[in-house]
Amino acid sequence: MLSIPLVDSTFKDLRDYIYDQSGIYIADTKKYLIENRLSRILQEKQLKSFEEYLKLIKFSSNGTELTRLFDAVTTNETYFFREPQQLDVFADLVIPKIMSTKKAGQKLKLWSSACSTGEEPYTLSIMLTEKNITANKFEIHASDLSEGVLSSAKKAIYNSYSIRNMPENYLRKYFSPEKQSYSLNASVKNTVKFNKINLIDNNKIKSLRGMDVIFCRNVLIYFDAKAKQKVVSNLYDCLNPGGYLFIGSSESLHNVTRAFRPSVTNKVIMYQKV
Ligand SMILES: C[S@@+](CC[C@H](N)C(=O)[O-])C[C@H]1O[C@@H](n2cnc3c(N)ncnc32)[C@H](O)[C@@H]1O
């Protein structure tokens, strides 16, 4: 497949547009990646140039094109029980601490804020169940920018890549095999509420206040400093006082915010709203 040439000025227009819409920043060095990944879409749509493509995404009213663009410029990679050390700190230390502050009838509220195809929020649900915290005692919200990943998340049918870190007994307990895939049981599936939320959209984010723990893992890497600050400040506002934020273990809030109190347990960094 031949790439359609992307001239520098159009690359910059496209890059600025993606940034304004999502906070995702594409460095100059990634131009080739955009050219390669988007050429396929252009050819499929029989568009002759990136200028035509830019017009299409700016003026297409249903958002489908924009979603495909976001999918092409980010990676949706995720899997069950990703970064297990962090998850163990969450389940063994953070959850008991928060549960001890809850009054009768008050639910634990979690949010997986860049949930991709759902493995992260469903992992949290399985972990709570394993701690004997029943579904009537918690709410798990999950969101992403991309409609494509959210629709897969709601189906909850996974391949062997997604479940490769999953303890064998959980696979038997919470999934039903289906041809080459694994279908998540309704008892877990029904505990997660999915929503389309753009993390840089202040208004949309306001719908998710009062969280006890927010997971925002492996997405801050796509943002520049300004967008990171905006996203992290939005997440801060959504947490209850004393609530926790977990970011990816290769990510950092250094030079992003001093609002949280960082602490380290078993080499895992977590950020608490004080
Ligand atoms: C690599 S996945 C991370 C999935 C999961 N949190 C994990 O760590 O396994 C990154 C996700 O961030 C989403 N994303 C990128 N920009 C976003 C934004 N502005 N708002 C919400 N989600 C966004 C992408 O669509 C993608 O699904």
For the chain, what is the mean pLDDT? 94
- The structural domains of the chain, ordered by start, are 8-73 (1.10.155.10), 84-273 (3.40.50.150)
Our answer on whether the CB atom of 198 is closer than 6 Å to any ligand 1 atom is yes
The confidence score (pLDDT) of residue 67 equals 85
Give 115 Cα–ligand 1 centroid separation in angstroms. 6
What number of residues does the chain have? 274
Our answer on whether the CB atom of 230 is closer than 6 Å to any ligand 1 atom is no
Could you report the per-residue pLDDT of 160-183, keeping only the tens digit for each? 999 999 999 999 999 999 989 999
Our answer on whether the CB atom of 23 is closer than 6 Å to any ligand 1 atom is yes
The confidence score (pLDDT) of residue 171 equals 97
Q: Of 219, 246, 251, which is best to mutate to test ligand 1, by the most ligand atoms within 8 angstroms of its C-beta?
A: 219
CB of 267 closer than 8 Å to CB of 248: no
CB of 140 closer than 8 Å to CB of 191: yes
Pairing verdict, β 108-112 and 181-184: unpaired
In this model, does residue 1 exceed pLDDT 70? no
CB of 112 closer than 8 Å to CB of 218: no
What are phi and psi for residue 156, nearest 5 degrees?
Answer: 60, 45
Give 105 Cα–ligand 1 centroid separation in angstroms. 32
Our answer on whether the CB atom of 22 is closer than 6 Å to any ligand 1 atom is yes
The confidence score (pLDDT) of residue 2 equals 63
Between the two ends of the chain, the Cα-to-Cα distance in Å is 54
Q: Which of 50-64, 73-87, 142-156 is predicted least confidently?
A: 50-64
What are phi and psi for residue 117, nearest 5 degrees?
Answer: -85, 15
Residue nearest to atom 3 of ligand 1 (CA): 218
Give 13 Cα–ligand 1 centroid separation in angstroms. 23
The confidence score (pLDDT) of residue 73 equals 87
Give 39 Cα–ligand 1 centroid separation in angstroms. 23
Joined tokens for residue 146: 């991309």
In this model, does residue 4 exceed pLDDT 60? yes
For the whole prediction, is pTM greater than 0.85?
A: yes
The confidence score (pLDDT) of residue 161 equals 96
Could you report the per-residue pLDDT of 12-44, keeping only the tens digit for each? 999 999 999 999 999 999 999 889 989 989 999
Could you report the per-residue pLDDT of 193-223, keeping only the tens digit for each? 999 999 999 888 988 999 999 999 999 999 9
Distance, CA of 11 to CA of 26 (rounded, Å): 10
What are phi and psi for residue 40, nearest 5 degrees?
Answer: -60, -45
Arithmetic mean of pLDDT, 78-106? 97
Give 71 Cα–ligand 1 centroid separation in angstroms. 10
% residues pLDDT > 70 (the chain): 99
In one-letter notation, the amino acid at residue 256 is V
In one-letter notation, the amino acid at residue 73 is V
Residue nearest to atom 6 of ligand 1 (CA): 217
Residue with tokens 């804020």: 113
Our answer on whether the CB atom of 146 is closer than 6 Å to any ligand 1 atom is yes
Largest CA-CA distance found in the chain, in angstroms, rounded: 63
The confidence score (pLDDT) of residue 160 equals 96
Looking at the DSSP bridge assignments, the partners of residue 262 are 271
Arithmetic mean of pLDDT, 73-78? 90
